[in-house]
Every structure is written in C-alpha cells, then in structure tokens.
Chain A
Amino acid sequence: MASHVTTPGAVEPKMWLGGIEPMKASYGKLMMWFFLISDTFTFSALLVAYGTARFSFPAFTGKHEDFTFSNMYWPVPERVYEAVPFLHGISLPLVFVGIMTFILIASSVTMVLAVEAGHRMDRANVEKYMLWTILGGFTFLGCQAWEWSHFIHGTEAGSVMKVIENGTWIEKTIFGANLTENQYGPPAFADFFFFITGFHGTHVFSGVILNILIFFRAATGFYDKRGSYEMVEKVGLYWHFVDLVWVFVFTFFYLV
C-alpha cells in the first residue's frame, strides 16, 4: 500500500489506489464504460447476425397489404407485431412496440434526473426519480412478457406451412413460434426474436435490480454518509446503455 505521507496543506490530486485519475474519470465510471463497450460488441454481434440471416433469405417482394406468413421468405416485421393488449383482433402495426420505446426513453429521462439530483446531494429527489425509473423498468418488462406470450401462442388461425418432418415434406398448420417452428416466417426469424429481445430483456431486468439496490442505499442514507452519489451515475450509465440498445433493436428488428 502506498504510504500517506502528505505535506499538510498541499492540494492532493484525485487518486485511484496507486495513481492519478486517468481521463478525469473515477475508476468505477471508467470500468463501467469499458464494460459497456464489450456489451456493445455482444449486441452488435447479435444484430449483425440477424442482418446476415435476413440477407441470406429471399425478401417478401409484394405489397405490404398482400403479405401473408410463409417460411419461404423473411417476414415484414410490421405485419408480425401488430397486436396490442385489450384490443384483440385489431391490426395496429408497431403500436405496442412504440409504447415500449416511449416507456424506456421516459425511464432514461427519470434516471438522468436522479443522477442530476445526486450531484446536488438531494436525497429526496434521487429517491423520487429512482422510483420512477424502477417503475418504468418493470412496466417495460411487463410489456415484453406480454409480447413474448403473444408471439409464442400465435394467431387464432395459425399458418399453413410446408415443412420437413421425419425426412418428408408435409403441410401442417403452425400456431405461434418456438425455437424450431415459426408461424410468421422462417424458424431463424423467431430464434433471433427470442435471443435479441431476450438478451435485451435480461439487461433490463438486471438494470432494474441494480436500480432497486441504488434506491435502497440512497433511501437509507448510505450515499449521504459516503459523501457522494456517484453510484447513481455509474448505474445510470448502464441504464442508458440498455435504452440505447433498444433504439437499435427497434430500428433493425421492428422498423426495417
């Protein structure tokens, strides 16, 4: 350990354990940034793999209105995701996923407001905004659970598809999707849906857990005692990253 021989009255530089802060960022904040870079690569790999699969399949060439589910071409996402809870049987393309996007952006705003309140050591506002952020996170997870459930169970009529079973081509009606069957298109489409939104949902879930921890520590005065609310900022970075990933998932999975 470094011995603390300091001249009384001297201005001490901000220290890591053993050196001066590089890039004017604390150790924890910098490590969070580098973790997020590695997470960026993981999500990029998933989304780029989705693009590769999509490019290696025929695209649907007709008009969007004439689109029907088939495993012979890649589906048009806006025709796959058009259900909204309580509005059964009404075609509302991308409306529900739009609501989910809004929820996540809003929770990002409340998070950054909590960080800002932390800078002022304003415990009451940190608590308030952390609670809103946690609520937003749970709401998003609830929406995603509904969307998965709808995707897995499928439409009432299902789709008739030609598939190979036990070595022969047969025609059968498929309802919903799992990792091997998919009523909306090629099985790979459902696989990517489960992996990409699932991996993102796992991030949201762990983010909510971290947010709860931060809320608890703020509410019990832990950060007041420590004299710094920087933990709010570090977890905030993670939470914004989750929002950032969703922006990309929204574009490349749902829009194009």
Chain B
Amino acid sequence: MAEVHHHHVHNQDPEAGAEQRKAIWKTFWILLIITSLEFLIAFTVPHGILKISIFIIMTIVKAFYIVGEFMHLKHETKTLIWSILVPIIFVAWLILALMLEGNAIFEAIFG
C-alpha cells in the first residue's frame, strides 16, 4: 500500500526519540536564558544604539532557534530552507524604506 502521509518509524519504545527530546529541552533553556538576559539588559544598559542593537541580535538568535529547531526548518531540504528565507528580503527592504520615511516625516514636521 502506498503511504502518502508518513514515513516515520512506528515505535512504542519510550527510548526512541530521546535524543530529539534532549534537543528540545536544550532549545527551551537557550530561549529562556536569552529572554532573561534581555530583562537584565533592559534595566542595566543605558538606552541607546548599543542597547537596541543587542536586543535585535538576541531577537534574531531566538528566532533562529524557534524556526530552526521547534519548526524543524534546519533539518529540511536546502531548497525548502531557502524558499522560506529568501522572501524575508522583502521585509528587510520594507524596514529600510519605512524607517527612512519615518525620519523624513519627523524632519518635515519637527525638524
């Protein structure tokens, strides 16, 4: 019979997938530690470019772990990974374009 949906091992052995579960909990601790660090930084580092840059980097690291491990993208085929990541380039452009626009509006009104 053709199996359209699945190709996983049928296994009632609780030891199966132990390695995967270990990776899941490791990812959980990484996300928790980064979030805690964000709190620490929020109240210790003075507000400015440095603080914002640290936050953005930490956010991207968290996104990497959520998408890569929880959503399993890291373990998909290369074509799938790139099909998902390449469109994000439009978001990068949107950020750049509208930040410049926001600055221009500020200059026009308050500059």
Contact = CB atoms under 8 A, between A and B. Distances in A.
Contact of A102 (B25, B35, B79, B103): B35
Contacts of A14: 3-4, 7
Nearest to B97: A48
Contacts of B13: 120
A113 B76 contact: no
Contacts, number: 160
A162 interface: no
Contacts of B103: 55-56
Interface string B54-67: 01101100110011
Secondary structure dominating the interface of A = helix
Interface stretch (A38-46, A164-172, A206-214): A38-46
Contacts of A24: 76-77, 80
B102 A108 contact: no
A109 B17 contact: no
A78 B42 CA distance: 9
Contact of A226 (B5, B39, B47, B87): B5
A52 B91 contact: no
User: Which bucket holds chain A's interface residue count?
Assistant: 35 or more
A162 to B, nearest CB: 16
A203 interface: no
A51 interface: yes
Interface of B: 2-14, 16-17, 20-21, 24-25, 27-28, 31-32, 35, 38-39, 42-43, 47, 51-52, 55-56, 58-59, 62-63, 66-67, 69-71, 76-77, 79-80, 83-84, 87-88, 90-91, 94-95, 98-99, 101-103, 105-106, 109-110
Interface of A: 12, 14-15, 22-26, 30, 33, 37, 40-41, 44-45, 48-49, 51-58, 64, 78, 93-94, 98, 101-102, 105-106, 108-109, 111-113, 116-117, 119-122, 226-230, 236-237, 240-241, 243-244, 247-248, 251-252, 255-256
